[in-house]
Each structure stands twice: as structure tokens, then as C-alpha cells.
Structure 1
Amino acid sequence: MKTTQSKDGTTLAYDVYGNGPALIYITGASCHRSFKPIVQDAKIFASEFTVYNYDRRGRGDSGNTLPYTVEREIEDLEAIIDAAGGKAHLYGHSSGAVIALEAALRLGNKVQKVTLYDAPYVCDEKEKAEYKQLSQKIHELLENEKNSEAMLTFLKEIGMPKVFVLLLPLFPGWKTTKALAPTLAYDIMLTQDMPPLVRATQISIPMQIIVGEKSPVSINKVGRQLTKAIPNARFIRLAKQDHLVSGKKLLPILSTFLKE
């Protein structure tokens, strides 16, 4: 484990794998850098990249200076980019894709190329209203320190398989996952609005937008909305993949785009 500090003094923990161009792995909701699927993907990507796998604030071994803002998340990412040498490619998964897109807008030439997978903005006003109800429910549970219920409710409502959600508390890593519940409020803040399509037209960094063929219809719609808005963005609908994408299936697409 290595550490660096964000602009506000928050300690950020990260691991480094492999050799090659620097690639920052930005994880989504309910994830941390030591989560087994995240580590597996990071090591797969490390066959062709130097992968920086970090704990977003409030997760794992990173700090959690309050109050939370999207700007602080971008400053955290900038600190990891600086630790990687000052320039890097970005791979953002789920809510991590939102951070990656914001970084493309805010961090200038520190960001080389960006790949987004399943950016989970709400796709229309109807979904925004439904998500607001979920947000209120999650915040109420967190305020009452019902972290376990908050995590399970969130995962169920965003479409995780019911059987998986029911069995999750029986898994060895449940205690760690449950401890991440307060950060759900952060991910909700990142994803509660429709994609910033007008601002996205200003992106000049090469962007690749990937959605899983089996991912929710709303995520597919958002992917196409972003592709249309971002100049020269590349769109890929990855066959037979859902939100929990296979790192092995993703690597050839990442490599082709980031190294060309």
C-alpha cells in the first residue's frame, strides 16, 4: 500500500500493479481497492498498463474529510495522477465513470485518454424522480445508522440480482462492504442528475464510452447520449456483458484505444 494526500489533506491509499502507460482505475459504488473483483481486474489490466488502484475517500484505507463535494473527488483523482507522474489514462466504472468525465472537463492535459463503462446518470425526468425517492430512503437509513439495510436497499433498487443481494450478508467481505454504506450518499450525489450533455460538448480529450449489452436500458441510453454530445467519442456496446463487466473482455478494448 502507498499513500498520497489530496488538496484538503485527506490521505488516499493506493496500490500499483504492472508496467506500461499509467492507467488510473476509478471504482464505483460499494467498491474499494482491496475488493476481490477489483483486484482481479487491476491485475488483468496490469498486463499492459501500470495500474493505479486507489480507495476513493471514505473507503478502505483512505480518509474521509468532510464535507463531501464532487470537487473534492476530482482533487483526489488529481493527487493520484500526480503520484503516477503527472499524466495518466483514466478508466471509470459506474459512478467512477462520472468522476472520470468530470476530470476530462477539469484537469486539462493531466488526463490523456478516458474510458467510461456504464456511466449511471439518470436518463430522463421519470428516472430522476424515482432515483430521488431512493436517495431519500438511503439518507434516512444512514441517518438512523442502518448501514446494512442501506447497502442492501441500494443494491436491490439499482438492479442487482435479488438472490445475490439476499446472500451478500453471508459473504466473508460483508463487514467491509457494510462499512462503505455512508459513501452511498456520495455516489448518489454523483449520479442523481441527467448527464451534463452541454458541458460534455467542450471535452477535447479522446473518449471511449462502453456499455454492457446486458446492462440496464437506461445506462445504454446514457451511453448513446454522451457519445452524441462528446466530440469524436467512440461508442462500444460490449456483447454478453452486464454492469459487472469481465476485465478479460475489457482489456483488449482498453488496450486498442489507449495505445493507438
Structure 2
Amino acid sequence: MKTATSADGTPIAFDEVGDGPPIVIVGGAFSVASDGAPIAEALAKQGFRAVTVDRRGRGASGDRRGSTPEDEADDLAAVIDAVGRDAIVLGHSSGAVLGLFAAARGVPMRALFLSEPPFRFGVDEPAADLPERLQRLVDEGRRDDAVVTFQLEGVELPPQMVEQIRQSDMFASLVAVAQSTVYDATLTRQVSTPTAEMLAVSQPITILRGERTFPMLVASADRLAQAMPHAELVIVPESVMHRPDPDATARVVRERV
């Protein structure tokens, strides 16, 4: 992996595949760079240089206690500076929220693709103290409880599904990035409703969602599109239940840049 250095000195690791215009893939909760590999490969086949990122507190990237959404925007800026300032950004889930937040802060990007961003617009908000409670659990060494709490309260997964995940082989990989739940919860609390600056971002914006996905994400994508008349809403039938289909997503991007 390569490394970019963020404004506060935190190293941010990223991988690249393919040749062509750079496109930075920003994953959502619990994701690391390798999780973006299928989409990266599909984008590489479409003629892009696809960049997958370990967000702060994940994988090979560094971390710093008390990190803020502004720090994560700086992380994205550092990666874009390393791969090319005309980069496209493809964000999924909280990564889409981060991408739009960073663009509003002036992080240079050529175009922005937002895949199922979980904006709440003031509806059914998680408890305001969720980030602080998650941090306490991590600090007490209860990283598994932090993961479960975030899944139940931040993502609102059904308890039965959360228990199945807890008993699965994948749970250890989620516990390894438990600190990142604090950052995701902080980001989505701070900009649960997009700010005026976020809605006024001038770059070309495409909002993507599946036909079959969580109702909250349907409402979020549709309401964001209504609030951003210059944005295009694209429904991707192949993407199901908050899992973007790599080939279909790559085709949407290729058709628009």
C-alpha cells in the first residue's frame, strides 16, 4: 500500500489498480480498503485508476484520539493530492457523507458519486450521546460492545441480525476497527442533515441507490436529490440491500465522466 500524510500528520494508506483518470473510493462503516477491491477492479476495467482507502483508524492507516469529521476530510484531501487533484470521488454509505462534507470544505474533486448516503434529515435520529458512549466502550476495552452498540443504534440493524454477525467469523474484523465507529457516529451526527454548503457543492453530483435497500436509505437518497436540483438520482437495480453492485456502479460512473 501507499501512504499519504494528512494535515495532522496521520498516515492514510491507499491502494491503486488500473490506469486512467483517478477515482477515489471512500467506504462506509467498518470497511477497509480491501472491501472496495471489487468495485475498484470493475472501475479499472472501465478505464479508471481506482484508489481504495483505509480511512482513519482502520487497516494500515494511522489514528489520533479525538479525530473529527474535519480530520477525515483532510485525510481525503491528502489522498487526492497524492493521486491527482482532478480525482473523482465515489463514496458509499458514511463514505458518501464524508465525500460531500469534504467537497463543501473545498477539497478538490472533479465529480462526486454518492452511493446511499445515510442522511437522516432530522427523522429517527440516534441518541445524541452515541459517539461519546462508543468512545467510552472502546476506552474500557469493550470493543465488541462498541461494535454491537453501533450496529443496533447507529445503523439500526435488527437484533437477530446483530447477534448472527456477533457469532460469525467476520466479527473479529469489525472489532479490529471499533474505534472507527466513533468517527462514523460523530460524522453522521454532525451532518445528519446536509448543510447549506454541502447542498451548494458545484461539482457534478450523482446520487445512487438500489431499488431494494433499507427504507431509510431510499428516503435519504430521494430527499437529497430533491434538495440538490443539479444532482442526478440514479437507481441501480443490481445493487441490493446497501451492497453496491461493482459492474453496474462502474458503468454508471463511466457513462457520466
TM-score calculated relative to the size of structure 1:
0.87
Residue among 205, 227, 234 paired with 1:236: 234
Farther-moved stretch of structure 1 (159-168 vs 24-33): 159-168
Change (3 A) 1:111 1:134: same
Contact conserved, 1:195 with 1:226, CA < 8 A, in 2?
Answer: no
Task: Measure, in 2, the Cα distance between the counterparts of 1:139 and 1:222.
Answer: 27
1:166 aligns with 2:147: no
Task: Measure, in 2, the Cα distance between the counterparts of 1:161 and 1:47.
Answer: 37
Correspondence for 2:173 = 176
1:134-153 to 2 correspondences below 5 Å:
135=131, 138-153=134-149
Contact conserved, 2:68 with 2:187, CA < 8 A, in 1?
Answer: no
1:51 Cα shift? Answer: 0.8
Task: Measure, in 2, the Cα distance between the counterparts of 1:139 and 1:58.
Answer: 13
SS in 2 for 1:178: helix
SS in 2 for 1:221: helix
Task: Measure, in 2, the Cα distance between the counterparts of 1:77 and 1:104.
Answer: 10
Change (3 A) 1:67 1:136: closer
1:205 Cα shift? Answer: 0.6
Correspondence for 1:155 = 151
Contact conserved, 2:103 with 2:198, CA < 8 A, in 1?
Answer: no
SS in 2 for 1:127: coil
Correspondence for 2:197 = 199
- Percent of aligned positions that are identical: 30
Task: Measure, in 1, the Cα distance between the counterparts of 2:119 and 2:64.
Answer: 25
Task: Measure, in 2, the Cα distance between the counterparts of 1:64 and 1:52.
Answer: 20
Change (3 A) 1:115 1:30: same
Amino acid aligned to 2:5:
Q
Correspondence for 2:59 = 60
SS in 2 for 1:15: strand
Correspondence for 1:218 = 216
Farther-moved stretch of structure 1 (193-202 vs 59-68): 193-202
Correspondence for 1:249 = 248
1:106 Cα shift? Answer: 2.0
Unaligned runs of 5+ in 2: none
Residue among 105, 111, 128 paired with 1:132: 128
1:132 Cα shift? Answer: 3.2
Task: Measure, in 2, the Cα distance between the counterparts of 1:33 and 1:14.
Answer: 7
Farther-moved stretch of structure 1 (216-225 vs 15-24): 216-225
Task: Measure, in 2, the Cα distance between the counterparts of 1:67 and 1:161.
Answer: 30
Stretches of 4+ moved more than 6 A in 1? none
RMSD of the TM alignment (CA)?
A: 2.2
Contact conserved, 2:5 with 2:78, CA < 8 A, in 1?
Answer: yes
Amino acid aligned to 1:107:
G
1:172 Cα shift? Answer: 4.4
1:224 Cα shift? Answer: 2.1
Amino acid aligned to 1:220:
V
Contact conserved, 1:195 with 1:222, CA < 8 A, in 2?
Answer: no
Correspondence for 1:29 = 29
Task: Measure, in 2, the Cα distance between the counterparts of 1:201 and 1:153.
Answer: 30
1:232 Cα shift? Answer: 1.2
Contact conserved, 1:200 with 1:230, CA < 8 A, in 2?
Answer: no
TM-score calculated relative to the size of structure 2:
0.88
SS in 2 for 1:212: strand
Task: Measure, in 2, the Cα distance between the counterparts of 1:151 and 1:87.
Answer: 36
1:100 Cα shift? Answer: 0.7
Task: Measure, in 1, the Cα distance between the counterparts of 2:103 and 2:228.
Answer: 11
Task: Measure, in 1, the Cα distance between the counterparts of 2:170 and 2:199.
Answer: 41
